[in-house]
A and B are shown apart, each in its own frame.
Chain A
Amino acid sequence: MSIEVDEVKKIAKLACLNVDDADIQSYATNLSNILDLVAQMDAVDTTGVTPMSHPFDAVQRLREDVVTDFNRREDFQAIAPATEDGLYLVPKVIE
C-alpha cells in the first residue's frame, strides 16, 4: 500500500493537522510502511466473524437524566487560552 504526498495532505486536512511541507514526504513513507504492516490482516479470512466491540459484550450503561455534577465554569475556563464573559474566544468567524 503506497500513500502519495497528495493523499497525506488530504489526510492531514481531515485530521486538522498543519504539516510542514518538508515533512510530508517522510509521513508518506511512514504511513505507507504502516499500511503495509496492517495489510497482513487480509491473510486471515473473517467471513461471518462478528466484530468485537467489548471483551464482555457489555452494552452502554444508562443513568437517570438528572444533574450529578455542579457548575465549575470558572475552574474550567481558568485553563483556557482565551475567554471573555464566560465564553471561549476564537478568531472572528463571521464578518
Chain B
Amino acid sequence: MSNYHTKTVTELSAMLQAGKVSSVELTRYFLDRIKSSDDKLNSFITVCEEDALAQAKESDEKLKAGNAPALTGVPIAHKDIFCTEGIKTSCASKMLDNFISPYDATVVTNMRNAGVVMLGKTNMDEFAMGSSNETSYYGAVKNPWNLNAVPGGSSGGSAAAVSARLAPAATGTDTGGSIRQPAAFCGITGLKPTYGRVSRFGMIAFASSLDQAGPMGQSASDCALLLNAMAGFDEKDSTSIEKEVPDYSADLDKPLDGLRIGLPKEYFAHTEGGMNADVEAAIKTALDEYKAMGAELVDIELPNSGISVPVYYVVAPAECSANLSRFDGVRYGYRCEDPKDLNDLYTRSRGEGFGPEVQRRIMVGTYALSSGYYDAYYLKAQQLRHLISDDFKKAYEKVDVIMAPATPETAFNIGEKTDDPISMYLSDIYTIAVNLAGIPAMSIPVGFADGMPVGMQIMGNYFEEAKLLNVAHKYQQATDWHTQLPEEFK
C-alpha cells in the first residue's frame, strides 16, 4: 500500500512531475481516505469525486505534455467559503444550503490555473463566525488529535482535513485568527497573508476590512507553493493590492544569522486568560532553537494589543451586519415557507436561515452602527485600530519578525465554550491584532502539551510573507513537529 498521505505537497508535486505517480491515482487515494475516515471528523461538507477525477485526468494529460505548472495534479480542499461554479457553496449556513455558485472565486480560479485538483469543500464555522467550528449548520468538526476536542475555527474543516492528511493541503480564510488558531490546534502550518495580497472576490464576505485568504498545509515550504498560486492583484476586488508577487519559495533556505526576533511582553505576560504553562514551555523551547540558529531575541512592547479583542468585536460585527444584509430570501439562498408579506419574507428567511452566533453578531453590528452610536463604537474602534497598527510599525523598526503563542491554550473540548460567547472570543486573543493591522502572520507547530499540538505565531511586516516562510522553513528543517501525525490517521 502506498503512503501518499505522508508526503508533502512539495514531494507530491515532484513525484507528479517525474511521472512517479499519476494525478488520478493520487486523487483516488485521497478520495478513499476521505471516504474511510471523514465520518470520524466531519471535515468535509461536499466531496467532489467526479469533478476531482475529471480534473485529475486532465492534469495527467498536461503533465505528459510537459511544462505543466508546479502544482499540476496535486489534490487539495477548499474552505466552503470560496464560491465554486456549479458546486454547492454553503459557508456552513442553512442560508446557503441550496446555493450553487454561478461563478468561481478568484482563489479557486488561480488554483485551478496552477493545476490543482479540488477534492471538495471543507466544513467551517457558519459564515466564518466562530473559533471552534461548532457554529456550522453541518455539525461540529472533530480534532484529529483528540476526537472530543474542537479543531479550532473558523477554518476548522480545512485544518482537521490537513492534520489527518485527508487532503495534502487546503485553503482557509482568516478574519481574526481563523487560519492560525485552527492550524495551531491541529498541528499544521497556516499563513494569513497581508491584507489585500490574495483576492477576496468570490470569497463570501464576513468583515471586509479584515478578511484575508491563505494556505493551510503541512509545512512552510508547502504554504509557499500554495501562496505562489493564490496571491496576486485582482481587478474584481477593489481592495486588492497592485504589487508584484515574488516567488515565495525562492528564499526558504536563507540562513537566519542575525535575525532579530521581537518578543512582545504583553503576549508573554502571566495574566488571567494568558497562555498556560505547557504552551509557554513549548514556545520557549522553540525560541531556544531559533537562538541556536543564530537569531537574536529582543524584548518589545505592543502597548495597545490588549484592546484588540474589544476593537475586533465592534469592527467585525459592524461589517458583518452590512455584508450579511444581502441575504434576503429573494435572489438566492434560503426562503421561509409561505411568507405573508415582504417584511415577513425578509425577517423570517433571515431568522430561520442564520444560526444564533451569526444573528448575535448581526445584532451587535446593527446596534453599533445605529443612529447615535457610530462615534462611540465604529469610529472609536477604527481610531484604536490605528494605534494598534502603529505599535507594529514601531516594533518592525527594531525587529525583523515577532514571535508569540498562537493561542493561550491547546484545543479545548467540544461544548466547553458554547454557552459563553465571550470566553470563545477570548480564545483569539493573540491572533486578532494582526488582522486589525493588516500584517501577515503564520502559525507553525512547535510541540505538544498533554498530547495536543501547540502552535507558535510568527508575525511579519507588511508584504514580508517570504521572510515568514523562510523563518518557519528553517525551523522545520531543524525539527520534526510538523511531520507528526495523529495516531488514528497514520
Contacts and interface: CB of A to CB of B under 8 A. Distances in A.
Contact of B235 (A35, A63, A92): A63
B contact face: mostly helix, strand, loop, or mixed:
helix
Nearest to A72: B102
Nearest to A42: B380
B56 interface: no
B113 interface: no
Contacts of B368: 38
B313 A38 contact: yes
Given A72-B102, A90-B330, A91-B345, A35 B383 contact: no
A88 B335 CA distance: 13
A9 B32 CA distance: 49
A51 B379 contact: yes
- Number of contact residues on B: which range applies? 35 or more
A33 B332 CA distance: 34
Interface in B303-348: 304, 307, 309-311, 313-314, 321, 325, 328-333, 335, 339-348
B325 A16 contact: yes
A15 interface: yes
Given A33-B421, A52-B389, A8 B239 contact: no
A75 B104 CA distance: 13
B351 interface: yes
Which of A8, A60, A91, A92 has most chain B Cβ within 10 Å? A91
Interface string B94-110: 00001110100000000
Contact of A91 (B194, B196, B342): B342
Interface string A66-95: 000000100110111110000010111100
A41 B345 contact: no
Nearest to B243: A56
A55 B377 CA distance: 19
A39 B310 contact: yes
B141 interface: no
Given A51-B383, A55-B437, A76-B331, 20 more contacts: A8-B363, A15-B321, A15-B366, A17-B362, A27-B359, A35-B367, A37-B310, A41-B307, A46-B380, A46-B384, A49-B387, A51-B386, A52-B383, A53-B382, A55-B196, A60-B238, A80-B331, A81-B333, A90-B342, A93-B342
Interface of A: 3, 8, 11-20, 23, 27, 30-31, 33-35, 37-44, 46, 49-56, 58, 60-61, 63, 72, 75-76, 78-82, 88, 90-93
